[in-house]
Amino acid sequence: MATRRLDETKTPPSPPRSRGFSALGARVEAAPIAPGLYIVATPIGNLADITLRALATLAAADAVLAEDTRVSRHLMDRYEISTPLVAYHEHNAAQARPRLLARLAAGEALALISDAGTPLISDPGYKLASEAAAAGIPLTSVPGPSAMLAALTSAALPTDRFFFEGFLPPKAAARRERINALAGIPATLLFYEAPSRLAAALADLAAELGPRPAAVARELTKLYEETRRGTLPELAAHYAVEGPPKGEIVIVVGPPRAAPQLDADALDREIVEALGALSVKDAAAAVAAQTGLPRRQVYARALRLAGARR
């Protein structure tokens, strides 16, 4: 029997992975990137809303850490990027994080993305970023789309100061308590919300914050993008009738009116006058809306004044 040469029994080496991407009809080879963790923003709907730098980073990385690899595969295939996808999400983060930190410590370049928008905003990626930074691993932000900022800029509300709350509690009592805690913040407020809870959240926002101007933005950058504007009571009434809308939702609420400089005696006079025609609850709501003071603060004072009048 003929003797097979040793080199004929070896598996031929795999060709090196292409580290490039395709865009605007051209194939581009990505330049190497330094080791570290790259926080890469991806489109929130329209796949054309990605930067060239983001594409180059995804193509050059050793792996892309994705919230849902099936969702991210559409983006990778659109731009013909062959970088391996690794699942990293809230359900496997505790187990996956040590392995990923070991890869980073060994000198790899890993890109972190979310299903849509900027990672670390209301997702578990911040824990990986925090532990990587603590271990001395370089972090690089590759900025881009964000649903929060897209909603803020389309809401036609003040943008000089804003406060991002993320998701409100799902239970009504906890939700109202949290809204009340935010009432005095002198800034535009932004919330993410699920379609099934939108009407209830708007009703609670209206009850706690009064008739502030607001906007509901959904399906941002997509075919059926919509931004509906009105006061909180108007929006609450609309979605109570219309039912849950489709798509990802951002609620934007205008800041409180600048409260006049009321001393305690002046505030008491406002409350007493309102109590002459309204119930304690309604009087507190009216004075809070008029002065911009937190409703619960006014309500507590109204209760004391109403008790003293008996």
Determine how many CB atoms are found less than 10 A away from the CB of residue 91: 10
pLDDT digits (tens, 9 = 90+) for 130-166: 999 999 999 999 999 999 999 999 999 999 999 999 9
| CATH of span 28-145 | 3.40.1010.10
Asked whether this chain's domains 28-145 and 148-253 adopt the same fold, the reply is no
Parts of the chain with a pLDDT under 70: 1-15, 122, 258-262, 292, 309-310
In the chain, domain spans: 28-145, 148-253, 264-309
> Which token pair is 73?
């595969």
Alpha carbon 226 to chain centroid, angstroms: 17
- Give this prediction's pTM: 0.80
Architecture of domain 148-253: 2-Layer Sandwich (3.30)
Closest to 193 in 3D by CA, of 169, 160, 173: 169
Residue 295 burial (CB count, 10 A): 23
In this predicted model, what pLDDT tens digit does every residue of 98-118 receive, in sequence order? Answer: 999 999 999 999 999 999 999
What is the predicted pLDDT for the residue at 310?
A: 61
pLDDT at 210: 86
With contact defined as beta carbons under 8 Å apart, do 278 and 211 qualify? no
What's residue 153's pLDDT? Answer: 96
Exposed, middle or buried, 187 (CB in 10 Å: 0-12/13-18/19+)? Answer: middle
Name residue 3's amino acid.
Answer: T
Structure tokens at 303: 């209760």
